[in-house]
Structures are given as structure tokens and as C-alpha cells.
Structure 1
Amino acid sequence: MADAKVIPFDDDRSRGAAQRSPRRRSSPRRKGDAAAVSEVKTLPGRQREDARGAEPAAGPPEPARRPQEEPRGGGLDRRVAGGLAFLRRRLTGEYEVDDFGYDEELTDQVLMSLLRPFYEKYFRVEVKGVENIPAEGGALIVANHSGTLPLDGLMMQVAVHDNHPQGRHLRLLAADLVFMLPVVNELARKAGHTLACAEDAERLLERGELVGVMPEGFKGIGKPFSERYKLQRFGRGGFVSTALRAGAPIVPCSIVGAEEIYPMIGNAKTLARVLGIPYFPLTPTFPWLGPLGALPLPTKWTIQFGEPIPTDGYPLEAADDPMLMFNLTDQVREQIQHSLYKLLVQRRSVFF
């Protein structure tokens, strides 16, 4: 089988029709129905006149219950009703997806719920610098890539959604191999991910989305354990060119902990070529322990978002300046590498 084809991020080619999921024609769902809460205004205490004379009003009224404070015994009923309503919308098609295949409702209620136990309990992710992510508008989050399997991108997606004050969604750019795999292809589309090409990235940024990219690609995720936390080459600066065209800030992101989940001590290159994948990892547990060896080690993670690098001050023609792209790419890479070293010095244990 042929080696997996990786489309570089700075490739301006359009995606093939076979790789794009067809857009579901569905009636839009109303997002604000469940969140609408009427505002209660209480007039100051006043006296009323009756046949026996003036009497002071009763004490201050009981404060209105906050929306999230459900009455005792009613929480389960509300969750069941919400689940049934979700299933009804799934069956009747009363939900919407965008032209990339992103299903926001499914992502919020199902996919995030499946990832959250790994995020909170298994990897115990600690997030720093989330205030550096803009509250609105497009931004490009650039992170290091590691771990043999791309779990770092999924944990970064949960970190942004659960910790950002606005609950923003991160749209990841993935290699074409992701969209060649059955089931994984559909789930990636539903979760908002798309092909790592400049065309898609620019469209998302111009629509005000948060876009995540890991420029190391397979070079980073498949590097041997001996080279952990050493950033690989960031390509030809395609992500910088896209950010310049959209005028979107670049937010460096450093992830510590993912390198140790599958310590890659070897690579069966012949088997990888037969299977048509970039590498076939050999770890202390895989494939020696069979399916049990595929379980990632429960390392302790830290995800830190650095100060954004603005790009809106450059002229439009700056996106075609190779020297500027090289300098900005090197600046982002150095900032991520410096943060990685700093976090590693502060870390006292891989697992605790």
C-alpha cells in the first residue's frame, strides 16, 4: 500500500469532493430556547392601606432561583427530558451542520462528554493562560504535537471549550489520513475538524472561528521518545501566511505530558509501509501486551496558551513575503519551545 499522503498546510489546493462530507440539509435548531431566563425585578417594600389602617409590607421577597439550581428531585427529570428531546431532533433532522460538517449540538452534548473523563480524571489537565485566547473573532492557535496518537489535539479542544469564559469551540486542522479512516472521518467532521489546507483555514478564520494547527505534523507525533519535547521543523510557514491574510492573531500553545503517554522506542517501518501509515510505533507495552498495550499511560498534563502575536498591523502583501513568514514562524516556534522548557523545569513528576 502506498504511504499516507500528507497535504502540507501551506498548500492552497482545494479539497477534493470525495474528501468533503456532504452538507446535511436540515432545519436550523433554535439555540436560545433553553437558555432564555426572564428577569425578575422586585419593587421596594411599600405600605398598603386597608380598612384597619396602614400596615408595613411583608419582609423582602425570596430571591429568584438561579437557572442552574434545579429543584430537588427535578434534575433527573430534566436530564431525561433533554435527552429525549436530543434524540427526537436526531431522528427528525431538526438540527444543523455547517458546510464543513460541524455539528455543534452533537459535539457539546455527546463528543465532549466522552472526552471529558479522560481530560479531567485520566490526564488531569491543568490549563494556563486561557485569557490569552480572544473572546471573539478569529484566532489561530499553534501548538506542539506529540504522543504517537493525536490525543493532544482532542485535549486541547476540551481545554478551550471548558475553560474559556465564552465557551469557544476550537476547529482543528488535521492531515488527510484522518479523513481516510472509516468512522474517524465522520466523527472528525462532526467535531468541527477539517483538512489542513490554507483554503479551509482562511475561511474559518474569516468567519471568526478559533482554528488550531500543529505544524510539526507526523514529524512531531511520530518522533522517538529520545527526542521528546524537541520541536521539529514547522514546515514552510503556511499557517503564518493564512493568519496574515485573515488578520488573525497567532496564539502559541505548549502541551506537556503528551510525550509520555506512548513512549515510542522503535518504528517498524516495513510494516508501516505495508499498512500505508506514516509509522508503526513500538512502545514498552505495544504490541507486546496486545490490546492492553494500546492503553495510554496516565500522565499529568499541562496546557499553556501564550501571549498572542498580532498580525493585523501588516499590509495585505505581507502574506507573500517569505522573509516575514520565516521570521514569524521562527518567533512562534521559539516561544513554544521556551514555554515547554519552562514547564518541564516546574514539573515535579510525570504522573503526579
Structure 2
Amino acid sequence: MLVGNHSGGYAVDGAMVLTSMFLEMDPPRLAQGMAEKFINRFPIASLWTSRTGQFTGLPEHARRLLEDDRLLMIFPEGYKGTAKLYSERYSLVDFGTGFMRLALQTRSPIIPFAFLGGGTAVPTIANLYKLGRLLGVPYIPVTPYVLPLPLPAPLEIHYGEPLTFTGTGNEDDEIIIGYVEQVKARIAELIEKGRVRRQERLFL
């Protein structure tokens, strides 16, 4: 199970991780993730989602993927992660806990990753939530050039070592939250290391 952060005004990060797994793994792996349900309202986005093996649906679908030894991609921040502003591009918002129960139930290791550069490619300075709701999406990102079109920017993915946790997935919330915080802390470390390297390259 791949677990990482969102970066950018929309899910450019998922597309990049998918590409990374397909081009850099030997043999290639298809990373499949659960897309937000509102995607189904938009024909082009819905078609891209289904054609690339992504899906919307119930957690049971994700469980079946893991039980079949397929690669599941999770962004526990949800849409609140893509809504981060440019000034928050290296931060993390609260993680959902469902992925941890799923990992425990299927005895799946968690591979943490940090995605960097999305906040530079889509430098969000504000989010229009009311307009987004009218259009059937959580929000509309606003950039300095108004339209949320991606700019040329270096994108990076940093993968960490697999993390394993013991349990059945039926543990008390306190235990699950503790496990989730460990994953979040590791992703934060990967983000910080990547951020420092990016800054160092700017001054070379």
C-alpha cells in the first residue's frame, strides 16, 4: 500500500505516482487509488479515472485489491490535502484512519512517500468553496494568474522504507490513531528532506 501526501490544487500527484510505478518499477506496477466520488459527475475525468485503473466506491473494493496482491495508492488527507495553499505546500493536514485499518486487515505493508512540487506547479492562493459546491466539486483553486493551469515545475517523489504494523484492524481508535501518526510523521520527514534538497539546488 502506497501512502502519501497531496500537493497541488488538484490530483496531479496521483498521476505522477501512477507514472512512477509504471515506468520505474521492474516489473511495472499499476498503482490504483480510490478517487473522490464527485469525479463521476465529469465525463472526461471519470473516463481518465477508469482507463487508468482508478476507482470510486466502497472500502471493500480497496480490500479486494490488496487481497489480490495489487498496489493500492492512498492519500489520507483527502480533498483537504489538495486544497492547501502555496504557503502550506510542505505541510500536512489531518489524516483519515481508514487506510490503517485496511492495512491491518489485509496484513499489507505501508510504503510512505512524499510528493513535492505540486504546490509550485499549481500555486494556489485561495479556494472558492461556494463556487465549487455550485459546480459539484469541493472547491475551485485560484492562482495568481486566476486559472488553475499547471506551470512547468520540477516534481519529485521520495519513497520511504516499508512500514509494518501488528493488529487485526479492529483495534480501539486510540491505537489506530497512534499508528496513523507514525505514518504521518514519516511522510513529514520525507517532505522535509526533499524540501531541503530542493532549496540547496536553488543555491548551487
TM-score of the aligned structures, taking structure 2 as reference length: 0.92
Distance in 2 between residues matched to 1:215 and 1:196, nearest whole Å: 16
Q: CA distance change for structure 1 residues 186 and 327 in 2, over 3 Å: closer, same or farther?
A: same
Q: Which residue of 2 aligns with 1:322?
A: 173
RCO greater where, 1 or 2, for CA within 8 Å and sep 6 or more? Answer: 2
Which AA in structure 1 matches 2:152? P
Q: CA distance change for structure 1 residues 196 and 304 in 2, over 3 Å: closer, same or farther?
A: farther
Hey, which of these two has a bigger chunk of helix by percent? Answer: 2
Q: Which residue of 1 aligns with 2:121?
A: 261
Distance in 2 between residues matched to 1:248 and 1:196, nearest whole Å: 20
Which of these residues, 163, 186, 189, is aligned with residue 335 of structure 1?
Answer: 186
Structure 2 unaligned residues grouped into runs of 5+? none
Cα shift readout 1:155-200 (whole Å, capped 9, x = no counterpart): 1001011111111111112110122211321221121111263211
Aligned residue for 2:34, secondary structure, equals strand
- How high is the sequence identity, in percent, across the aligned residues? 33
Distance in 2 between residues matched to 1:195 and 1:218, nearest whole Å: 14
Distance in 1 between residues matched to 2:45 and 2:37, nearest whole Å: 12
Asked whether the equivalents of residues 198 and 239 of structure 1 are also in contact (C-alpha less than 8 Å), the reply is no
Structure 1 residue 274 corresponds to structure 2 residue 128: no
Structure 1 residue 143 corresponds to structure 2 residue 11: no
Aligned residue for 1:177, secondary structure, equals helix
Structure 1 residue 244 corresponds to structure 2 residue 98: no
Distance in 1 between residues matched to 2:51 and 2:136, nearest whole Å: 25
Which of these residues, 25, 35, 42, is aligned with residue 181 of structure 1?
Answer: 42
1:315 Cα shift?
A: 4.3
1:251 Cα shift?
A: 0.6
Distance in 2 between residues matched to 1:169 and 1:269, nearest whole Å: 33
Distance in 2 between residues matched to 1:340 and 1:147, nearest whole Å: 14
Asked whether the equivalents of residues 111 and 161 of structure 2 are also in contact (C-alpha less than 8 Å), the reply is yes
Which AA in structure 2 matches 1:323? E
Which AA in structure 2 matches 1:346? R
Which AA in structure 1 matches 2:135? L
TM-score of the aligned structures, taking structure 1 as reference length: 0.55
Structure 1 residue 296 corresponds to structure 2 residue 156: no
Give the RMSD, CA atoms, in angstroms.
1.8
Structure 1 unaligned residues grouped into runs of 5+? 1-139, 288-293
Runs of 4+ aligned structure 1 residues displaced above 4 Å come to none
Which AA in structure 1 matches 2:115? I
Aligned residue for 2:164, secondary structure, equals coil
Larger radius of gyration: 1
Asked whether the equivalents of residues 90 and 195 of structure 2 are also in contact (C-alpha less than 8 Å), the reply is no
Distance in 2 between residues matched to 1:197 and 1:320, nearest whole Å: 21
Aligned residue for 1:347, secondary structure, equals helix
Asked whether the equivalents of residues 250 and 309 of structure 1 are also in contact (C-alpha less than 8 Å), the reply is yes
Matched residue count: 202
Asked whether the equivalents of residues 225 and 265 of structure 1 are also in contact (C-alpha less than 8 Å), the reply is yes
Structure 1 residue 194 corresponds to structure 2 residue 36: no
